[in-house]
Structure 1
């Protein structure tokens, strides 16, 4: 101790840090966190499956005389129609082609990616037309609230 300093004596109770919130703070925080995880983990799992489906769709070669109209596919997860206990995955791609809608449908029918084909009707014969191809899959909904 240096000269001129006054020693300060603390009682044992004053030396311990005080706990303002006590034990109840953990009980107030933990349940909402667990509930949030119970809701978010199934959502993350279905989103990862949808991303894998998008990867499969975009890595499959395009039909001949066909190009991307929009290189960004659209994807969605959820119960799309009806009241079934399932989770529908939908991936839509927009293409420009000189093939007919039937030729596009036949091309995808022979692949592991079967889907519906929507064709722009007012394109001139032999000219380019817009085509939307929609691929769907169904999976178990699990606890994902979007699928119930």
Structure 2
């Protein structure tokens, strides 16, 4: 009788586990892509006279159409905040030449500049954005 119940339990649980794995494989893959993008953004050299001192301002986001629009796209965004002594033009020049690989092409970088601080530095928010067509992750459908 125990063997029968064990077989019945296995017959019910095994398909559920298989379905769970099939649904989660794209999620795990996209989570790994986001982690890799985060590491590549952090590995990119900072502009001269700049520091990444606002660790609590780092933001890593994944979702569908983060910048708007329609369609089924998986979007990744990594945001870091720097303190720099450089001008906005110098920062733009540094990041215009940046080549950070994304899932399908190089990432797009947006810069947002704050006012000059008391210490002579300026805050700069650097956003690295990447996207790819939907490939099975239910969070992007």
Into which bin does the TM-score normalised by the smaller protein fall?
0.7 to 0.9
TM-score, scaled to structure 1: 0.77
Larger CA deviation: 97-106 vs 132-141: 97-106
Instruction: Give aligned pairs, total.
Output: 131
> Per-residue deviation at 1:97?
0.8
> Per-residue deviation at 1:23?
3.4
TM-score, scaled to structure 2: 0.80
Q: Does 1:128 align with 2:121?
A: yes
Unaligned runs of 5+ in 2: 101-107
Which of residues 93, 96, 99 is equivalent to 1:106?
93
Contact 1:101–1:118 (8 Å) recurs in 2? no
Unaligned runs of 5+ in 1: 1-16
> Per-residue deviation at 1:47?
1.1
Which of residues 4, 28, 33 is equivalent to 2:12?
28
> Would the alpha carbon gap of residues 18 and 136 (structure 1) be closer, same or farther in structure 2, given more than 3 Å must change?
closer
Q: Does 1:140 align with 2:133?
A: yes
Counterpart residue number, 2:112: 118
Instruction: Name the larger-Rg structure.
Output: 1
In structure 2, C-alpha distance between the alignment counterparts of 1:41 and 1:124, rounded to whole Å: 46
Counterpart residue number, 2:81: 94
In structure 2, C-alpha distance between the alignment counterparts of 1:60 and 1:47, rounded to whole Å: 20
Which structure has greater helix proportion? 2
> Per-residue deviation at 1:125?
9.5
Q: Deviation above 6 Å: which 4+ runs of structure 1?
A: none
| Secondary structure, aligned partner of 2:13 | helix
| Secondary structure, aligned partner of 1:32 | helix
* Aligned pairs (5 A) from 1:12-51: 18-21=2-5, 23-51=7-35
Larger CA deviation: 107-116 vs 57-66: 107-116
